[in-house]
Structure 1
Amino acid sequence: MTLYIAREASKLWRKVFMETSVELQLLLEKWKLLLAGLVFQYIHGLATRGVHYLHQPGPTLQDLGFMILPELGKERGYISESVFTVIFLSFVLWTFHPFIYHSKRFYTVLLWRRVLAFLVACQVLRIITFFSTQLPGPNYHCREGSELARLPRPDSVVEVLLINFPRGIVYGCGDLIFSSHMIFTLVFVRTYQKYGSKRFVKLLAWLLAIIQSLLIIASRKHYTVDVVVAWYTVNLVVFFVDNRLPEMPDRTGGSPPLLPLSVKEKDSRAKEENHKLLNGNSGENADWRQRPQVNGKHAEDGNHVHSEATLNGTRR
């Protein structure tokens, strides 16, 4: 039993090591676009902080969702953030599953490059919309009389650049149309819909997206229009950008590896098996199957076998 566990652990570490080496090579090639996407996350945070200085608290606008869904209030507002945290962390962990599991449909670096492209495109539109018109925030800390509803004039540029993370993000006001939480949620759900393999998880993901939408409205983080606009905008943006981007290589179909093998790796059977595990092809290759023999000779294909058999029949 101990030997079995040790052998399986050794295989696991070998897979993790090989996957890491390939992903690092991809990262060295694609780091510029990945870094640009991560930097834009800060720019987006800077924009939400900036619009808070422009926010003018006022009466909450008439909203159909507010009429239907009772307000969760300050004491239960954490429910919405908890559901979002589950969605966020679950997706992040799933994107790294190729480091461990045999069935691998994508490279993690390429997937995050794609996800960041979706996020940036949606966030650019979001920044344009919430700077175009500032609505009075419906959340409890954005209403008239709250100390957090207005931000005092900054003493320096550094104060703006620091954006008071994470408090400045959680208690922001004015960045309403459209919901940032729904951008991340829908991008993650659509990505799993395309590259995930579990049908039950796909259905659960869409259900959580609907629940998240209702909780955002019930917690008064956004107006209903912010959520509605997010649903059709994010889906349209992801559909358009996804069609523009080159498709990622599918690792489950036995397709050629993204990174070529060296000469030594081609000559080594052990390296071939490791590479087969790395690219998610756990089955035996069709070319390795034992060929049938006819009169002590290997047949190359079905037609050759048939012709040999025919010749043997005629000779009899």
Structure 2
Amino acid sequence: MWRAKQLWKRVFTETSVELKLLREKWKLLLAGLIFQYIHGLAARGVHYLHRPGPTLQDLGFMILPELGRERGYISETLFTFLFLSFVLWTFHPFVYSSKRFYTVLLWRRVLAFLVASQMLRIVTFYSTQLPGPNYHCREGSKLARLPPPESVYEVLLINFPHGVVYGCGDLIFSSHMIFILVFTITYHKYGSKSLIKFFAWVIAIIQSLLIVASRKHYTVDVVVAWYTVNLVVFFIDKKLPEMPDRSGGSQPLLPLSAKEKDGKFREDSKLLNGNSVDAADWRPRMQANGKHEDGKHMHSESALNGA
């Protein structure tokens, strides 16, 4: 009973803090979520341009046997597991006392990485449409070509999730790898378990191989994702303000505002210069020029002797 009360209190406190942050950052979060729809809309649109053809020569296809229609679910199952695991982890500060980040600020960062990577992806797969290597994108499949849309609503609805699973043409570079790499890099920086960090990178490599084996993408789509996403995260991470680390317990409940930071900087500067922040501290101090400081009045040594 006591533990249940403590847990409820922790959840309530964390929720109130995160809601304050959400009221401040909701526009950026909403923009990131809206772009997820725009990305899906772009992927749906390129399917109308897709023209099936012979599968391109691919080194990964030569090395890895095709999983086929019967075992293609293995790749999607692993991706779903990683996706849900990361989402649940981002909300762990609501339950566990070992808080290292604010959930709202973390998702603001993650969505920035995703949006930048997805913008580059849209540009690349619209620049050149490659024949899809998956079984439903090959010549003879009814799903390889989409008939012209009968209305604008057919395009805007993007036929989720069927249209996402059986999409064609949005190849370079892999959207699955964007999510996997962004999640893995984020946990590597803000996670606390070294063993999980190691396994996260191992699973990212396994996911890459499964994507190629299931013929969802060419090998080049996976390879380009690996260095593009890492570079995007590296440069954007440098531009974003660093999140406060809450693990030490010394951080404020909410990030300091610019005014608060300026005030704290002035206090720290006073301490470093040998001045007390407390106005009641009137102890004399010897200055570098040989004069005594007593409160706010400065007296030379000769004046003191004359007195």
Name the TM-score class by shorter chain: 0.7 to 0.9
2:23 equivalent among 28, 33, 56: 28
Tell whether 2:163 aligns with 1:168: yes
Aligned residues: 256
Q: Match of 1:233, as an amino acid? A: T
Could you say which residue in structure 1 is the equivalent of 2:101? 106
Residue 252 in structure 1 maps to residue 252 in structure 2: no
- In 1: Cα distance, 2:144 partner to 2:183 partner: 31
- Which residue is equivalent to 1:80? 75
Percent identity, aligned pairs only, is 82
Other-structure match for 1:216: 211
For 1:40, the aligned partner's letter is: F
Alignment RMSD (CA, Å):
1.1
Partner of residue 177, structure 2:
182
Q: CA deviation at 1:260?
A: 8.3
- Which structure 1 residue ranges, 5 or more long, are not aligned? 1-5, 262-316
CA–CA separation in structure 1 for the residues paired with 2:88 and 2:189: 17
Q: Give the unaligned 5+ runs of structure 2.
A: 257-307
Give TM-score scaled by structure 1 length.
0.80
Q: Following superposition of structure 1 onto structure 2, how do residues 255-270 of structure 1 map, counting pairs within 5 Å? A: 255-259=250-254
Distance (Å, rounded) in 2 between the aligned partners of 1:259 and 1:222 = 43
Deviations 1:134-187 (A, max 9, x none): 000000000000000000000111110000000001100000000000000000
| 2:136 equivalent to 1:141 | yes
Deviations 1:28-77 (A, max 9, x none): 11000000000000000000000000000000000000000000000000
Q: Which runs of structure 2 are paired with 1:64-79 in the superposition (5 Å)?
A: 64-79=59-74
2:186 alignment partner in structure 1? 191
Q: Distance in 2 between matches of 1:60 and 1:256?
A: 55
Give the drift of 1:102: 1.1
* Structure-1 separation of matches of 2:70 and 2:251: 54
Answer yes or no: is 1:42 the counterpart of 2:37. yes
In the TM superposition, what is the alpha-carbon distance from 1:253 to its structure 2 partner? 2.0
- Structure 2 CA distance, aligned partners of 1:181 and 1:256? 35
Q: How far apart are the structure 2 equivalents of 1:181 and 1:96?
A: 22
Letter of the structure 1 residue corresponding to residue 85 of structure 2: S
